[in-house]
Structure 1
């Protein structure tokens, strides 16, 4: 039995006491949205740092707006609730936080007009998402959803069926993760993470117009590259075969963090080892998430 506390509809309750009806529209039709947030434990300072809370909850409420889910909380209030939840659980390890907003109505029909809007926030310890420090990937035959179908910039639960199908396909064939193409054949992203390519000294990543999630870690990676490492960053469409010609490839995301790709569609990337640019960005990312870099300290919210 899970004795962790969750936040549900205004109260901190034992996670096992959160009851959601089997008739809920969230369960029946996927009428919900979510966020993924990390809090990083720093042993030396005996401190847990919630990372990019404001940015995550700003995006969370934007997702709610698209889905006509109206929550009685501001970004600041959601940040305060999350800090209190982490304190109450007394987490002393790197932790994953999952807020979900959903339509709780039990009426039949996939309508977003119902006003029974609910929120639950739970959390759990989480180290490495994949358990690997380098990945083998393959392009999936499943196409990434278009913005006019299920908008990728909205973290809607329903759209992750697309991700699950892609992951099932490639992991069943022995790969670690999938890469989506858009309907026009351009590289999009992974099932739950953005992708970066290094070619001729430039850091290249697909633009929002190629149906990507506008990742918070993605934005941070671009900032580190531009401002701290002096690397030119280009947002443009990427052709599939460019993956095979890349000097480096890597994923970024809240769960994925910064993880190098060493093989794509059975082609070795670069020399088959994590590239220097990826390693430098990964090192900077690891330091700034626990408040070691003064410039980025505003991204870290101390829990204790």
Structure 2
């Protein structure tokens, strides 16, 4: 049962979540002509009157850029105004996930992006662990990750997530927690909604931005943290067989945070993950507002 917070941003103002309704004829509902974001926010462990958001500026910038791919302009200032008002109005007491959404709100039937009305909404939901922190099992999906030449993969375009949905359900119905997708070149791209990292011989390796991945914000944060620890980071194509012999395999994402992979298909993976654990510990420290050197990664919003 989803626990939606009582207030949402809809059509330019903060209103009760239950009153935020769209027509069944809404263009984005039919054609996937929308872009969304996802942000986590938690109560400050030392001040319950303050909420902490991780890398808000990066999330807002990506959403604004995603909207431009749909020929829609929405300013970063406007998105933050809505975000701040929604959090202050809801006064959450538990960790939440925030979903901002830019969409074609027109009621026309032609699949297009020109001469069409657009709008923006935002809502929040209580969210703990999206994936088990103890680790997940994965299968290689029979579905292939889309190519940037067919979809603008630099943005979080809602229509693109049909592939993720098919892959996730295929994995779940065949007894696995998560799916890993190959790209059209047969290289590992990403999971259904997460980026992937492996560790081999002390190097942290992840598919590069040329492998049809989403440019994940948690991914970029992990890369920056790893470099600060003196860990060699390599962005390059990754083969399926590398996953099976890697020293560590883990997933990253806003919802998933840092989640270890413990099994891929029939292969049990190494359970010793010193590099992942070091990165995860630091990321938790940062998101809880306990790291002075990365305090600029945290946005503090007072609930007073």
Q: TM-score, normalised to structure 2's length? A: 0.95
Q: Is the 8 A contact 2:4 2:124 kept in 1?
A: no
1:168 Cα deviation (Å)? 0.9
Match of 2:60 in 1: 57
Within the candidate set 275, 278, 285, 1:277 is matched to 275
1:274 Cα deviation (Å)? 4.9
Aligned to 2:263, what secondary structure does the other structure show? strand
Tell me whether 1:215 sits opposite 2:213 in the alignment. no
Match of 2:136 in 1: 135
Within the candidate set 24, 27, 41, 2:26 is matched to 24
Match of 1:246 in 2: 246
Q: CA RMSD in A?
A: 1.3
Match of 1:89 in 2: 90
Q: How does 1:25-174 map to 2 (within 5 A)?
A: 25-46=27-48, 47-71=50-74, 74-174=75-175
Q: Is the 8 A contact 2:200 2:247 kept in 1?
A: yes
When residues 53 and 62 of structure 1 are mapped into structure 2, their CA distance, relative to the original with a 3 A threshold, is same
Aligned to 1:303, what secondary structure does the other structure show? strand
When residues 274 and 48 of structure 1 are mapped into structure 2, their CA distance, relative to the original with a 3 A threshold, is farther
Q: Is the 8 A contact 1:54 1:76 kept in 2?
A: no
Q: Give the 4+ runs in structure 1 shifted more than 3 A.
A: none
Gaps of 5+ in 2: none
Greater mean deviation of Cα atoms: 194-203 or 80-89? 80-89
Distance 1:90 1:278 in 2: 33
Q: TM-score, normalised to structure 1's length? A: 0.95
- Partner deviation per Cα, 1:172-224 (whole Å, 9 max, x = no partner): 11111000001110000001010000000000000011000000000000011
Match of 2:289 in 1: 291
Within the candidate set 295, 301, 304, 1:303 is matched to 301
Q: Is the 8 A contact 2:194 2:253 kept in 1?
A: yes
Number of equivalent positions: 299
Q: Is the 8 A contact 1:3 1:16 kept in 2?
A: no
